Amino acid sequence: MRLILCENYDELSEQAAKLVASQIILKPDSVIGLATGQTPMGMYKNLVKMYERGEVDFSNITTFNLDEYYPIKRGNDQSYYYYMNENLFSKINININKTHIPDGETKNPYKECDKYEEEIKKNGGIDLQILGIGQNGHIGFNEPDVSLYTETHLTDLTRNTIEANSRFFNNEDEVPKQALTMGIATILKSKKIILLASGANKSRVVSELLNGDINTSIPATMLKVHPDVVLICDKDAYSGIRLGVDIGGTSVKFAVVEDGKLIYKSSIGSNKGSCDTFIKEIAEECIRIKAKYPYKTIGVGTPGRITDGAVTASNLPFKNTHLAKELKKYIDMSINVDNDANCAALGEFEFGIGKDMDNIIMVTLGTGVGGGIIIDGRICHGRYSMGEIGHIIVQSKGGLPCACGQTGCWEQYASVTALIREATQACIEDKDSVLYELYSKNNNKLDGKLIFDALEQNCPVAKKVFDEYIEWLVIGLKNLINIFGPDAIILAGGITKRSNILIDAVRKSLDTPVKIEISKLQNDAGALGAAML
Ligand code: GLP
């Protein structure tokens, strides 16, 4: 689904009219599916203006309206028959014989529906369907239900729709209780679809549509299976405020993002006690932030494995924990959960080095080697554990054992843990070195920082270990480049922050047109990416 985000309703109306006009200019005998309601009125006004300026010729088009109340007289000023005449048909050079609206006066609604569906087929199907969206997520009059009837049919209106549409009638009792509507399959058979959403009262369903799963309780989510849908939305309907939560072993970071900008961040310590209290603490911080920043969606990045929404993480009290469901007990809104490394990659893609790129790979060097792959702007998940780049095998025979059960995994050679292991071994074997001096002064312990200190003091022992480390790092990076051909590989993690030693060495031995960069966002990437899930 492509999103055109407009500043306001006027811009939305203009954009929509332009798309409809282009369709008619390119194919003058187009079959257009029309919608009613308040939202498309501005679009119709713009189309009338374009007609008056001689920019569009409507004489050869055929139209099919989405729906009509049932029963309703054509003369009733709330019938969609009346609406179309008032807002469009009487003002342009359309051939009225080629316009179709389900007959709200029919004695046999079932036959009328079959006839209507047949007529659409006879005309070769709909080239471009315009849709509005009800506050409950209905399209046409396809109301939320456990299962949706797919072709043109007679339907009962829900309480919610009767209430919402009573604004056009004298009172609620006057609103017809039924309607004739194209079904979801009728709509999905259209070659192209434009969906219009305007106003804050649509923001909940728009958010569900953009962030939620396909489900019959929000019928518009069915549009996600269509290959050519453009959602034109104004800022009121599209809440740009999102919350990202990055759960880590020591802290949980929160980031509020509005229209692509970080506007607030906070963090709390990670509770290693019970799962319930940890989730409650996270939820409480979400609620506290919401009072100030009324976000509409939450994205959560978490370490560990996520299977069907259930998270199991070794450093945290999550064991088959359905994080989204648990958080929803405290805060009921659209919540998406993904792996933390994927979120960091998405953060860097949306806000950092990857901002103007299509494909990036983020490689995080730390205790292990983690990463996220973004292809064409989307996180690649695959079915099982795609993106677990730390576990690509770089040493086939005699490789070091890995906690994942394999041997020779990349993270056994390219993680900071591996660098420290090798450096410790080397300095113990050569006590006459700067590296050993730093090691012994630090209670016989090395860390990434000390290794870099030794490198800066030109210690040959540290240099040898580091060169070998770079060789292993580069082997994995080469594999990633060969498989994915990304625009950039972005390195993150504590050791990438230290001077240019690492990045210079990698660039020198990689010799590739692919950009090798250091993460711009580092610790903020995860929460920012989570916000954009
Ligand atoms: C009606 C129509 C829908 C329309 C919806 C939203 O129920 N059957 O096709 O999308 O209203 O209308 P509005 O744009 O006035 O919010």
Say which range, 40-54, 57-71, 162-176, 204-218, has the weakest mean pLDDT: 204-218
Using a 6 Å cutoff on CB, does residue 239 contact ligand 1?
no
Pairing verdict, β 241-247 and 251-258: antiparallel
Residues found in the chain: 533
Using a 6 Å cutoff on CB, does residue 165 contact ligand 1?
yes
Mean pLDDT, rounded, of the chain: 92
Query: Would you say the pTM of this structure is higher than 0.95?
Result: no
C-alpha closest to that of 20 among 46, 59, 2, 52: 46
Using a 6 Å cutoff on CB, does residue 35 contact ligand 1?
yes
Q: How far is residue 232 from each of residues 19, 139, 185, 236, 278, measured CA to CA in Å?
A: 10, 15, 22, 12, 39
Tell me, what's the pLDDT at 210? 85
Please confirm, yes or no, whether 60 is among the known catalytic residues.
no
Count how many Cα atoms sit within 13 Å of the Cα of residue 36 in the half-sphere of its side chain: 25
Q: List where CATH 3.30.420.40 sits in the chain.
A: 241-347, 355-531
Q: What is the per-residue pLDDT across 364-390, written as a single tens digit (0 to 9) for each?
A: 998 889 889 998 888 887 765 566 889
Q: Which CATH architecture fits 2-238?
A: 3-Layer(aba) Sandwich (3.40)
Q: What is the per-residue pLDDT across 241-292, written as a single tens digit (0 to 9) for each?
A: 889 999 988 889 999 998 678 899 999 998 878 999 999 999 999 999 999 9
Using a 6 Å cutoff on CB, does residue 219 contact ligand 1?
no
Tell me, what's the pLDDT at 150? 86
User: Ligand 1 mean position to 60 CA, how many Å?
Assistant: 27
From the DSSP assignment, how many helices (H) and strands (E) are in the chain? 18, 23
Tell me, what's the pLDDT at 385? 52
User: Ligand 1 mean position to 142 CA, how many Å?
Assistant: 11
Closest residue CA from atom 11 of ligand 1: 37
Q: Phi and psi (nearest 5°) for 251?
A: -145, 160
User: Ligand 1 mean position to 203 CA, how many Å?
Assistant: 14
Percent of the chain at pLDDT above 70? 98
Question: Domain 355-531, CATH 3.30.930.10 — does that match?
Answer: no
Q: Which amino acid is at 320?
A: N
Q: List where CATH 3.40.50.1360 sits in the chain.
A: 2-238
Please confirm, yes or no, whether 524 is among the known catalytic residues.
no
Distance CA 235, CA 371 (A): 33
**pLDDT (mean) for 73-102:** 97
Tell me, what's the pLDDT at 384? 59
Distance CA 440, CA 436 (A): 6
Please confirm, yes or no, whether 67 is among the known catalytic residues.
yes
**What CATH number is given for 241-347 in this structure?**
3.30.420.40
User: Ligand 1 mean position to 36 CA, how many Å?
Assistant: 6
Give the dihedral of Cα atoms 514, 517, 519, 520; nearest 10 deg: -110
Count how many Cα atoms sit within 13 Å of the Cα of residue 218 in the half-sphere of its side chain: 22
In this predicted structure, the answer to whether residue 327 has a pLDDT above a threshold of 90 is yes
